[in-house]
Each structure stands twice: as structure tokens, then as C-alpha cells.
Amino acid sequence: MEFIIKAKESAIPCAVTIDEDNGRYMIRNVDTSGQVFQNKDELLKWIEEEWNSSTFEDEKAYDELLDMIKNNFDE
């Protein structure tokens, strides 16, 4: 599953990829750099530490993203 979320500071949206079947957990950041994680919990921790709702055009989308990751994916 890939989630796209539009940041205020970038024309290119941020992306969060969670592919449990293939063990892929990645993000594309505001500056288009990427991060790869070993599991969902590492990805979630990074998002909570590095991003916040005010970073994004739709602040509710950030909260919805966190809720979706926390509630819809199992390790």
C-alpha cells in the first residue's frame, strides 16, 4: 500500500510505502530523499519524530495516515 501526502514545502508529495508481503517499508520525504525501514514500527517511529501535521497541506491527512498505519497493519 502506498500513501501520498502533500507537503506545504514541496511540489513533489511525500509517500509512505508499506508492503508487508515483501517486507518493504519506505518513505519519500519532503526533500525527495528516502528512508528504508526494517518494519512498520520503525517506519511509524520515524514519521512521528520527523513529521507533524503542520508540515502538510491537509493536516487531517497526516493524522489519518498515522491511524491507518497503527490500526491496519500487523507485524
What is the extent of the structural domain holding 58?
Answer: 2-72
Sheet-wide strand order for 34-37? 2-5, 14-19, 24-28, 34-37
What is the pLDDT at residue 13? 95
**Alpha carbon distance 58, 54 (integer Å):** 8
Digit-coded pLDDT (tens) for 20-49? 999 999 999 989 899 999 999 999 999 999
User: Left (φ > 0), alpha (ψ -120 to 50) or beta: where does 35 sit?
Assistant: beta
pTM for the whole structure:
0.87
The tally of domains found in the chain comes to: 1
Give residue 39's Cα distance to chain centre: 13
